[in-house]
Amino acid sequence: MLLDTPSLYFRAYFGIPDSITAPDGMPVNAVRGLIDMIATLVRQHSPAELVATMDADWRPAFRVAAIPTYKAHRVAHGDTEEVPDTLVPQIPVIEEVLDAVGIARLESPGFEADDVIGTLTHRASGAVDIVTGDRDLFQLVDDARPVRVLYTARGIRNLQLVDESWVSAKYGIPGRGYADFATLRGDPSDGLPGVAGVGEKTAASLVTRFGSLEALLEALDAGVTEGFPAGSRTKLAAARDYLAAAPAVVKVAADAPLPAADLTLPVKPRDPEALVRLADRYGLDSPLNRLLDALSR
């Protein structure tokens, strides 16, 4: 099980009032929420291995070089992400808790959590469940292995299981075609413009007809007219530079360098003394007890 940890702690932060505080008054809503999410996931799915993936770089240089607008609307100043003031100090606490419990926490310099997930998925020899609220990771579903996304849009207790058949039914595309579909359609939440004038229906039609963005571009460059919805050929030709650059942004990496780590789900805390200190300092006794109970089963 691979956790898109930033997606989860942002969800916890916005889903739980910041009136949930440590004894000194510091908000710990994201910390408590994430701990309870992990406890629920462990109880419901009993993964053999568990990894909390992190953003070493929320807006990697290689993606910005390809598409300068990538996440540009989320920049607070310089190259810093706009994050609520009361969430910022909770992130180091989350990392300390994960480390004390013994849950593997992995990041890769110059890459996002999505890329860590993509790399671990690529390396995995067995089934993989990816827990995220980010649709970009739908591109990794693979029924043959299987790789599934447990999508958090409706909450951690009501996860949407996303596999190839769900992607096909939802978007009208081949189950493995989400990255190419997203490239054509664009994604304003990530600052990806897409092809002007090409919406979901046209993008789905193109991906279904040609099978991949690469095949579509080959047909476009070869002057093929069959299979292109009315007017789409001109729009695609006008966006040719974008379509050449966008895959480097949209597709998650499969080769991010990662340190060696024990991914085994812990059954007891790695550092009990540190965990006690964290529980006392931040008022985390109840959620940590729930997590430890889930891990020990």
Check pLDDT > 90 for residue 49. Answer: yes
Residues 201 and 61 occupy one common structural domain: no
Total structural domains in the chain? 2
Is 80 in a helix, a strand, or coil? strand
pLDDT tens-digit map of 3-22? 999 999 999 999 999 999 99
pLDDT tens-digit map of 263-276? 999 999 999 999 99
Residues 84 and 167 occupy one common structural domain: yes
Q: Give whole-number Cα distances, 226 to 40, 200, 239, in Å.
A: 50, 20, 19
Check pLDDT > 90 for residue 161. Answer: yes
Which of 229, 250, 271 delimits the end of a domain? 250
Check pLDDT > 80 for residue 184. Answer: yes
Check residue 132 and report its DSSP letter: E
Q: Give whole-number Cα distances, 239 to 68, 118, 170, 186, 220, in Å.
A: 15, 27, 26, 12, 11
Check pLDDT > 90 for residue 225. Answer: no
Residues 6 or more apart whose Cβ sits within 8 Å of residue 77:
none
Residues 137 and 19 occupy one common structural domain: yes
Are 162 and 154 in contact by the 8 Å Cβ rule? The answer is no
Whether the upstream peptide bond of residue 259 has omega within 30° of 0, thus cis, is no
Give the CATH number for residue 184. Answer: 1.10.150.20
Q: How far apart are CA 16 and CA 77, in angstroms?
A: 27
The distance from CA 260 to its chain's CA centroid, rounded to whole angstroms, is: 21
Residues 269 and 130 occupy one common structural domain: yes
Q: Say which residue, 81 or 290, is predicted with more confidence.
A: 290
Is 286 in a helix, a strand, or coil? helix
Tokens of residue 207, six digits: 């991906």
Give the CATH number for residue 100. Answer: 3.40.50.1010
Residues 146 and 49 occupy one common structural domain: yes
Residues 271 and 210 occupy one common structural domain: no
Residues 6 or more apart whose Cβ sits within 8 Å of residue 218:
none
Domain holding 72, by residue range, is: 2-171+253-296
pTM: 0.96
Residues 96 and 202 occupy one common structural domain: no
Q: How far apart are CA 124 and CA 144, in angstroms?
A: 13
Residues 222 and 267 occupy one common structural domain: no
Comparing C-alpha atoms, which of 139, 143, 142, 81 is closest to residue 114?
A: 139
Are 90 and 9 in contact by the 8 Å Cβ rule? The answer is yes
* Average pLDDT over every residue of 28-34: 98
